[in-house]
Protein backbone atom coordinates (compact mmCIF):
# COMPACT_ATOMS: atom_id res chain seq x y z
CA UNK A 1 0.00 0.00 0.00
CA UNK A 2 1.22 3.49 -0.90
CA UNK A 3 -0.17 6.74 0.50
CA UNK A 4 0.31 10.49 0.28
CA UNK A 5 -1.55 13.58 1.50
CA UNK A 6 -1.60 16.84 -0.47
CA UNK A 7 -3.62 19.81 0.82
CA UNK A 8 -5.74 17.53 3.07
CA UNK A 9 -6.57 15.09 0.23
CA UNK A 10 -5.27 11.60 0.98
CA UNK A 11 -4.49 9.15 -1.81
CA UNK A 12 -4.00 5.46 -0.98
CA UNK A 13 -2.96 3.05 -3.76
CA UNK A 14 -2.98 -0.74 -3.71
CA UNK A 15 -1.58 -2.38 -6.87
CA UNK A 16 -2.09 -6.07 -7.64
CA UNK A 17 -0.62 -8.25 -10.38
CA UNK A 18 -3.39 -10.05 -12.30
CA UNK A 19 -1.99 -13.36 -13.51
CA UNK A 20 -5.12 -14.51 -15.36
CA UNK A 21 -5.01 -11.41 -17.60
CA UNK A 22 -1.25 -11.72 -18.19
CA UNK A 23 0.59 -13.76 -20.81
CA UNK A 24 4.31 -13.69 -19.94
CA UNK A 25 5.22 -15.80 -22.98
CA UNK A 26 3.70 -13.00 -25.11
CA UNK A 27 5.31 -10.21 -23.04
CA UNK A 28 1.92 -9.10 -21.72
CA UNK A 29 1.59 -8.31 -18.03
CA UNK A 30 -1.43 -6.74 -16.33
CA UNK A 31 -1.98 -5.01 -13.01
CA UNK A 32 -5.07 -3.70 -11.30
CA UNK A 33 -4.73 -0.82 -8.89
CA UNK A 34 -7.29 0.37 -6.39
CA UNK A 35 -7.21 4.01 -5.38
CA UNK A 36 -8.94 5.53 -2.41
CA UNK A 37 -9.28 9.32 -2.33
CA UNK A 38 -10.29 10.86 1.00
CA UNK A 39 -11.05 14.51 1.66
CA UNK A 40 -9.55 15.15 5.09
CA UNK A 41 -10.02 18.90 4.80
CA UNK A 42 -12.76 21.37 5.65
CA UNK A 43 -13.70 22.30 2.06
CA UNK A 44 -15.55 20.34 -0.63
CA UNK A 45 -13.32 19.34 -3.57
CA UNK A 46 -13.93 17.83 -6.99
CA UNK A 47 -11.54 15.67 -9.00
CA UNK A 48 -11.46 17.19 -12.49
CA UNK A 49 -8.67 15.36 -14.33
CA UNK A 50 -5.84 12.88 -14.02
CA UNK A 51 -2.24 12.65 -15.19
CA UNK A 52 -0.24 9.42 -15.11
CA UNK A 53 3.39 8.70 -15.87
CA UNK A 54 3.95 4.99 -16.48
CA UNK A 55 7.50 3.67 -16.82
CA UNK A 56 8.19 0.06 -17.77
CA UNK A 57 11.27 -2.01 -16.81
CA UNK A 58 13.05 -0.87 -20.00
CA UNK A 59 12.60 2.80 -19.09
CA UNK A 60 9.94 3.40 -21.74
CA UNK A 61 7.60 6.17 -20.59
CA UNK A 62 3.94 6.69 -21.33
CA UNK A 63 1.87 9.68 -20.24
CA UNK A 64 -1.88 9.40 -19.79
CA UNK A 65 -4.09 12.48 -19.35
CA UNK A 66 -7.83 12.84 -19.25
CA UNK A 67 -10.93 14.08 -17.49
CA UNK A 68 -11.88 12.44 -14.20
CA UNK A 69 -11.34 8.80 -13.32
CA UNK A 70 -13.29 5.77 -14.55
CA UNK A 71 -15.73 8.11 -16.28
CA UNK A 72 -16.46 10.15 -13.16
CA UNK A 73 -15.47 13.51 -11.68
CA UNK A 74 -16.29 12.78 -8.05
CA UNK A 75 -17.21 15.52 -5.59
CA UNK A 76 -15.92 14.90 -2.08
CA UNK A 77 -17.35 16.75 0.88
CA UNK A 78 -15.22 16.93 4.03
CA UNK A 79 -14.69 13.40 5.37
CA UNK A 80 -15.93 11.65 2.21
CA UNK A 81 -14.06 8.96 0.29
CA UNK A 82 -14.16 7.85 -3.34
CA UNK A 83 -12.68 4.48 -4.29
CA UNK A 84 -12.14 2.97 -7.73
CA UNK A 85 -10.17 0.25 -9.48
CA UNK A 86 -8.47 0.51 -12.86
CA UNK A 87 -5.74 -1.35 -14.70
CA UNK A 88 -2.40 -1.05 -16.43
CA UNK A 89 -0.90 -3.35 -19.08
CA UNK A 90 2.86 -3.48 -19.69
CA UNK A 91 5.14 -5.44 -22.00
CA UNK A 92 7.69 -5.91 -19.20
CA UNK A 93 7.29 -7.85 -15.93
CA UNK A 94 7.64 -4.74 -13.79
CA UNK A 95 7.24 -0.98 -13.88
CA UNK A 96 6.30 2.07 -11.89
CA UNK A 97 3.41 4.53 -11.97
CA UNK A 98 3.03 8.01 -10.53
CA UNK A 99 0.83 10.98 -11.23
CA UNK A 100 -1.46 13.75 -10.09
CA UNK A 101 -5.14 14.56 -9.85
CA UNK A 102 -6.27 18.10 -10.66
CA UNK A 103 -8.76 19.13 -8.01
CA UNK A 104 -11.03 22.17 -7.72
CA UNK A 105 -12.21 23.42 -4.34
CA UNK A 106 -15.61 24.95 -3.56
CA UNK A 107 -14.25 28.45 -4.26
CA UNK A 108 -13.07 27.48 -7.75
CA UNK A 109 -9.38 27.30 -6.86
CA UNK A 110 -7.51 24.43 -8.49
CA UNK A 111 -4.58 22.42 -7.19
CA UNK A 112 -2.76 19.18 -7.97
CA UNK A 113 -2.85 16.23 -5.59
CA UNK A 114 0.13 13.88 -5.75
CA UNK A 115 -0.55 10.22 -6.49
CA UNK A 116 2.35 8.45 -4.78
CA UNK A 117 4.72 6.50 -7.00
CA UNK A 118 3.97 2.80 -6.80
CA UNK A 119 5.70 -0.24 -8.22
CA UNK A 120 4.13 -2.77 -10.52
CA UNK A 121 5.82 -6.03 -9.56
CA UNK A 122 5.09 -9.44 -11.00
CA UNK A 123 6.43 -12.88 -10.10
CA UNK A 124 8.20 -12.84 -13.50
CA UNK A 125 10.52 -9.91 -12.78
CA UNK A 126 14.24 -10.42 -12.30
CA UNK A 127 15.45 -9.88 -8.76
CA UNK A 128 18.52 -7.68 -8.42
CA UNK A 129 20.49 -7.24 -5.23
CA UNK A 130 22.24 -3.88 -4.88
Residue 101 domain-assigned (yes or no) = yes
Query: DSSP secondary structure string, 13-42?
Result: EEEEE-GGG-BGGGTBEEEEEEEEEEE-SS
Number of domains in the chain: 1
pTM of the model: 0.93
Residue 127 domain-assigned (yes or no) = no
CATH number of the domain bearing residue 89: 2.60.40.1470
Domain interval for residue 74: 2-118
pLDDT at res. 127: 63
pLDDT at res. 66: 97
d(CA 121, CA 125): 7
Quote the percentage of the chain above a pLDDT of 90: 94
Residue 129 domain-assigned (yes or no) = no
Amino acid sequence: MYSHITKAVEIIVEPQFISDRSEPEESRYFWAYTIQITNKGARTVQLMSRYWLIIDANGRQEEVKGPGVVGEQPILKPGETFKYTSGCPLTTPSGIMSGTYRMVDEDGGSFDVVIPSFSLDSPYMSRVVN
